[in-house]
Amino acid sequence: MKKARYLVDDLYTADPAAHVFNGKIYIYPSHDVESGIPENDNGDHFDMRDYHVFSMDDIDGEVTDHGNVLDVKDIPWAGRQLWDSDCAFKNGKYYLYFPLKDQTDIFRIGVAISDKPEGPFVPQEAPMKGSYSIDPCVFEDEDGSHYMYFGGLWGGQLQRYRDNKAIECGHEPADDEQAIPARVAKLSDDMLEFGEEPKALVILDEKGEPIKAGDHDRRFFEASWMHKYNGKYYFSYSTGNTHKLCYAVGDNPYGPFTYQGVILTPVVGWTTHHSIVEFKGKWYLFHHDCVPSNGKTWLRSMKVVELEYDADGKIITIEGTAE
């Protein structure tokens, strides 16, 4: 296993969503800025107010910063906190999907559009109808359909919803109840809205039973990502407070998905968030840790390392703290 490489040293960047567009890697991370607010579970210590896009011609090559491509002050419905984003391409346009708290401090998911993968991106006037929570990931299947995977607990507010409806006094289930699942929805043809009601993405254990809420080593917390390998759908995610990246495999975009194991053991820092992409015949894990900031309020820096599969299609576990 090769050593992970840090990609940017003049900004704190996290949650990297990597894609191959026009033969290059483009990375869509969030941007950590110290807010001066004491650290808390809602992420208020990060003043995340803009997005930069980065590109690479080669995995070991120079990283180009395309600058500020979307700013919170340019989003008509904005409150605060631009968290993890993702980008998709269709019919000559690039669509940037982003979570942002509206002016009532509720997370919604917005869309911004560009003619180029590096932006700049122009936001829509309003968030996606019926959207909520955080961490949108958009996956294009082989038939051209696009699916959005999203959701995050605690500060990501997913525990406040059941069946796509807000509930009073949102809470996590009891330990012996089914864990709160991520959500998945096919997008509309114009890429601007959900094309259907979001569905629960259920993760099963080795006995075919849904993962329980108390199973913090395996249950979904945030950071959805989807990729396909040898005809199988690999849903990967963060376990949050146990600091692992895990994955589950299914036969279609909706699942159910069966838990398979750990992709990345805990890194230095509270969160772990990632993307997985194939480039020039090899697979790579983009993720982040807090080593360069020396632990200061968990400001994060994105990095990349090669990802490998065994003969059975299992992802070989990467040590998050290994040098």
pLDDT for residue 323: 44
Mean pLDDT (the chain, rounded): 95
Percent of the chain with pLDDT over 70: 95
pLDDT for residue 37: 64
Long-range contacts of 120-125 (CB under 8 A, 24+ apart): 120/68, 120/69, 120/70, 121/51, 121/69, 121/70, 121/94, 121/96, 123/70, 123/74, 123/75, 123/76, 124/192, 125/76, 125/77
> Per-residue pLDDT averaged across 123-145, rounded?
98
- Exposed (0-12), middle (13-18) or buried (19+): which is 154, by Cβ within 10 Å? middle
pLDDT for residue 169: 87
Write the DSSP assignment of 222-267 as a string of letters.
EEEEEEEETTEEEEEEE-GGG--EEEEEESSTT--EEEEEEEE---
**140 catalytic, yes or no?**
no
Give the CATH class of 7-224. Answer: mainly beta
Q: Of 15, 32, 84, 118, which is the active-site residue?
A: 15
Q: Residue 161 belongs to what H/E stretch?
A: strand 161-162
**Residue 47 pLDDT greater than 90, yes or no:** no
> Per-residue pLDDT averaged across 229-238, rounded?
98
Long-range contacts of 40-48 (CB under 8 A, 24+ apart): 41/154, 41/155, 42/154, 42/155, 43/81, 43/83, 43/155, 45/297, 45/298, 46/81, 46/297, 48/81, 48/82, 48/83
pLDDT in tens, 263-315: 999 999 888 999 999 999 999 999 999 999 986 668 999 999 999 999 999 99
**86 catalytic, yes or no?**
no
* CA dihedral (153, 159, 160, 166) positive or negative: positive
DSSP code, position 309? B
pLDDT in tens, 173-198: 999 999 999 999 999 999 999 999 99
Separation CA 237–CA 250 (nearest Å): 14
Q: Of 118, 135, 222, 289, which is the active-site residue?
A: 222
Q: What is the pTM of this model?
A: 0.96
- pLDDT band with cut points at 50, 70 and 90 for residue 146: very high
pLDDT in tens, 79-93: 999 999 999 999 999
Q: Which of 280, 274, 285 is nearest to 309 (CA)?
A: 285
Separation CA 41–CA 77 (nearest Å): 24
> Per-residue pLDDT averaged across 27-36, rounded?
86
* CA dihedral (29, 306, 89, 105) positive or negative: negative
pLDDT for residue 139: 98
**Residue 199 pLDDT greater than 60, yes or no:** yes
Separation CA 313–CA 250 (nearest Å): 12
Domain ranges of the chain: 7-224
> Per-residue pLDDT averaged across 191-217, rounded?
98
Strand-pairing partners, residue 71, are: 50
